[in-house]
Structure 1
Amino acid sequence: MTTYRDAVAVEATVAEKAWGEAFGRAMSVVAGCFVRREARATAAELVTGLLLEVDTRNCWTLGQALGHPGPHRLQHLLSRARFDHDLARREIAGLLAGELAGQEVVLVVDETGDAKSSTDCVGAGRQYSGAIGGVGLCQVAVHLAAVTSTTKMILDRALYLPADWAADEERRQMAGVPEHVTFATKPQQALAMVTDALATGIEARWFAGDEVYCGRELRRGIRALDLGYVVGIPASYQVTDGAGHRREARKLVNRVRPGQWMRRQTGHGTKGTREYDWAWLDVRPDDTPDENENENENENENENENENENENENENGAGAGAGTSVLVARRHRYTGEVSFFRCWAPGDVSLATLVEVICRRWRIEEAFQLGKGFTGLDQGQVTCWNSWMRWSLFSLIAAAVLALTTAAVHEDSEPPPGLVPLTCPELIRLLRALVLPPPARDRDHVLHWIAWRRHHQAVATTRHQQRHHRHDQP
């Protein structure tokens, strides 16, 4: 164990230095986005505070942990400070682009939701979210992550406004939603973020998403950006086989003979190596950019469509210069449950490459867990547009600095046999012990905050009762 402790001590020294460099670079690239240095200093405090060991993360708890007399400085930064948060997000994306240069990057998109108690919160409405386990009152945001073999970083996010919310001028005005922000579907938001990420310098070859992002409009846009894609599809999704026949994915996979399934390793879990059986079938592409089609664009409903296929398609269903279009099936080795993925690549591609991209798609869930567990991604308790955009931005900056620090530690030090590589949760424990300031907990400060919270809650209760009384009057 002494050898292991010595190795961890070396990593701790490297991590301490790497954190200082990564944090300094992140805050320096966004420095020009602030009009006043006071707001810039508060932003650095907020990013640091998001990583402190506190029960929950919002302006009240972080204000107390940072030693502030109240939450007002943080609330001002989030809502009213003169700060170009859109430019700051692009600057951070440019920083990450430099770190990811030369690596095989997959752009992964997925949404996550946060439960809310009122529709007054910007974008809150009754909608489906896997994070809350069904349909409920929540906010939903689409996130874009850059995933490599060793790193996962969230690059961008877009708050989804339901159609009724986006059309409600009164609620838009109360929440401060900009006029140029209109209703957009989640696939449209995803395409806009991918386009912007490539413009900021992210070098990627693949796009990956789940069933929400399998529509033809998005896939056509991804192909126009010269990216390959891997998107999940439901079993009832219809594709066109090499002979030109429309079939559901679950029926088409019946053509795979038992000996054609290939078992491949997809990762490691707590119970050992994860393995699945894989197979692929050639299908005809239906999303060639700028092709003329007279058909219904809504593929999720699997309606009958009249397609104008490329006349130069060969017997495998791929047109000349059209790349490789295949349907990939993944079968659980024990239960036999089958999942389906529609894939396209600009050139030739192997099944092993497609399996690797499919497996990387799941790493955005790890990024969500990191953001929600350690950087307060879903804990802001903000209600307005500016506040939501800025809180989520600072959470992403904190997560990006952690990812940069972890990558630097892996590059500069090698763990000995018997230790797994340093993970972000372990890195946070090191930083809390060595670098980050401890939460302010002196007696006078704690008593001040207890009195402040109780007085604020008493005032809020009185105001709510007065408002209810006015509404009850005839």
Structure 2
Amino acid sequence: MQRNLDDLMTALGPMFTRIEPRLQAAKYVRAVMSELPRRNGWTIAEWIGDRRPDATQRLLNRARWDTAGAMSAIRRFAVNRLDAAARPDNLSVGVLDESGQEKKGVATAGVKRQHMGCAGGIDNGINAVYLAYVRAGTGHALIGARQWIPAEQISDPVTAITTGLPLDLTFATKGELAIGLLREAYADDVRLDFVTGDEVYGACTTLRAFLEEHAQAYVLRIRATFTLMLGGGSCLTCEQAVAKYLKQKRKWTIRSAGDGSKGERTYAWAWIATASPAHFLLIRKHRTTGELAFCYCFVPDGQPVTLPRLIAAAGLRWPVEESFQAGKSLFGLDESQVRLYEALLRHLVLVMAARAICAITAAVARHRTDTQAMTPSRSNEQPPEDFGLIPLTVAELKHVFNAATPRTSSLEHAAYWSAWRRRHQARARWFHRRARLATAYIQVS
């Protein structure tokens, strides 16, 4: 893992005009890979060994370095290394999805009350659209991110200035942000067998048109009310198409959508051809509840079109959720304590670098560390004497790496930071109390 860390930081070197921020960025990446329970300016600076958080805050807020170029370098590094660890016939899939970060105040770029998947509903926070690169049977990494900014913040000059929004920033939907991420990926020579995404992206006609113009196959989730043009000129919703064409059980096939944490995720699948020879409706049915899920598929002329291939692509959408979960719990993807637009993006870029290093190392070690016992073939089969080991995961590799390269601070360093925190908190408390005096009132009896 240390070699991958060194290689990636070498690739990022040209993005920095000065040595100081480049070294600080390397320290930042290593800190978010650590076992810190929380990752913010204070904890990262203390772990690094700095005497105050100024250098870390300067790296994110004011230092001169090419954020977009750094993301491009991480993207090329992750894709090339995952491709090298994969077999040539493994599918490569680009997954589009968004993830949020809850916020308490109103001073952060992009913050507003909106639907937050991490909060399970409407809450105050920020959202970003991500592109993940998934190589079947190998691994996956986040390779692109763009923050979604509400239109009212872009049009308000005061908010735009205080949150550091770029002067040329225009409002973009999540589907349009996804197009920007794909353009950047194509410019870096990223080749994808399929692009997948949930209903947000399946409903975006602009995104679908962009993919079809680039002859890019896709499997995008759509709602049950999505209208399809079928043979004979009939126009039906997804639910109506299922009711009309899939009444017989023999038209459904049981197939796995890929491995989950406890085994294969098997569903009943079917597909329906549309009026266009390149478009298909893929239907997934839960084997117990009967719940239906729909995907609108496009496969350009000259590429293989089979039901198993579409199912495999649809099943490769779920690893992005694992990337978000690991990114947040293991690397602090949602723990940035900055407010400016560029600073938020820089935090995401450096966390993506840390996540990519661990993902690549896990991909290389996958086959060498997989010693699991043979899969049972009968329901009454006796368990083996030795169940073996699953492949090394990102979480386990990160834990082992930190155990092998311990960072121990002196008692003097710990005492210094204890006093620094308490002094800073005393200062903040004093100013808060003074501000309260300005709004105090005399109670009239």
* TM-score, scaled to structure 1: 0.84
After superposition, residues 304-343 of structure 1 pair within 5 angstroms as 317-318=275-276, 323-343=277-297
Match of 1:72 among 51, 54, 57: 54
Alignment of 1:391-430 (within 5 A): 391-410=347-366, 415=371, 417=373, 418-430=388-400
Q: What is aligned with 1:208?
A: 196
Runs of 4+ with >6 A deviation: none
Task: Decide which of 238, 241, 253 is 1:252's aligned counterpart.
Answer: 241
Contact 2:258 2:312 in 1 (8 A): no
| Distance change in 2, residues 1:80/1:439 (3 Å) | farther
The one-letter code matched in structure 2 to 1:449 is: W
Aligned pairs for 1:85-234 (under 5 A) are 85-101=67-83, 102=88, 104-149=91-136, 150-214=138-202, 215-234=204-223
Q: CA deviation at 1:203?
A: 1.4
* C-alpha distance in structure 1 between counterparts of 2:250 and 2:223, whole Å: 24
Deviation at 1:54, TM superposition (A): 1.3
Q: CA deviation at 1:324?
A: 2.2
Q: Which amino acid aligns with 1:351?
A: L
Find out whether 1:385 has 2:353 as its counterpart: no
Tell me, in whole angstroms, the C-alpha distance in 2 between the residues paired with 1:98 and 1:267: 23
For structure 2, list consecutive stretches of 5 or more residues without a partner in the other structure: 374-387
Contact 2:228-2:237 within 8 A present in 1 as well: yes
Matched with 1:345 is 299
Quickly say closer, same or farther: Cα 1:271–1:27, change in 2 above 3 A: closer
- Separation in 2 of the partners of 1:179 and 1:355? 43
Q: Is the 8 A contact 1:236 1:248 kept in 2?
A: yes
Q: Residue 35 and residue 269 in structure 1: after superposition, are their counterparts in 2 closer, same or farther (change >3 A)?
A: closer
Which of 422, 427, 430 matches 1:459?
427
- TM-superposition CA deviations, 1:378-416 (whole Å, max 9, x none): 011111112111111100000111112112223666647
Quote the offset at 1:37 in angstroms: 0.8
* Cα separation, 2, equivalents of 1:87 and 1:139: 23
Relative contact order: is structure 1 or structure 2 higher (C-alpha 8 Å, sep ≥ 6)?
A: 1
* Contact 2:196–2:218 (8 Å) recurs in 1: yes
The one-letter code of the counterpart of 1:342 is Y
The 2-side partners of 1:473 and 1:203 are apart by: 65
The offset of 1:454, in angstroms, is 1.5
Kindly state the Cα deviation for residue 143 of structure 1 after the two structures are TM-superposed. 0.4
Aligned AA for 2:320? I
Partner of 1:303: none
Please provide the CA RMSD for this pair: 1.8
Superposed displacement of residue 357, structure 1: 0.6
1:275 corresponds to: 266
Percent identity of equivalent pairs:
32
Counterpart amino acid of residue 235 in structure 2 = R
Q: Deviations over 1:14-38 (max 9, x none)?
A: xxxxx12211110011101111111
What is the CA distance between 1:472 and its match in structure 2? Answer: 6.2
Structure 1 residue 242 and structure 2 residue 231: aligned? Answer: yes
Q: 1:471 to 1:180 in 2, by over 3 A?
A: farther
Question: Which of these residues, 39, 61, 77, is aligned with residue 21 of structure 2?
Answer: 39
What one-letter code is carried by the residue in structure 2 that aligns with 1:274? R
Secondary structure at 2:182's aligned position in 1? helix
Q: Which residue does the alignment assign to 1:306?
A: none
Partner residue, 2:382: none
Say if 2:37 is the partner of 1:52. no
- Pick closer, same or farther for the CA change 1:342–1:91 going to 2, 3 Å: same
Residue deviations 1:344-370, cap 9 Å, x none? 101341110111111101110011111
The AA in structure 2 aligned to 1:66 is I
Give the superposition deviation at 1:140.
0.3
Q: Is the Cα–Cα contact under 8 Å of residues 52 and 439 in structure 1 kept in the other structure?
A: no
Do the aligned partners of 1:188 and 1:218 also contact (CA within 8 Å) in 2? yes
Q: Judge conservation of contact 1:97–1:203 (CA < 8 Å) in 2.
A: no
Deviations 1:301-322 (A, max 9, x none): xxxxxxxxxxxxxxxx12xxxx
Aligned to 1:374: 330
Amino acid corresponding to residue 109 of structure 1 in structure 2: L
Q: Which range is displaced more, 411-420 or 339-348?
A: 411-420
Q: In 1, Cα distance between the equivalents of 2:50 and 2:290?
A: 57
Tell me the matched-pair count.
417
1 CA distance for matches of 2:408 and 2:323? 25
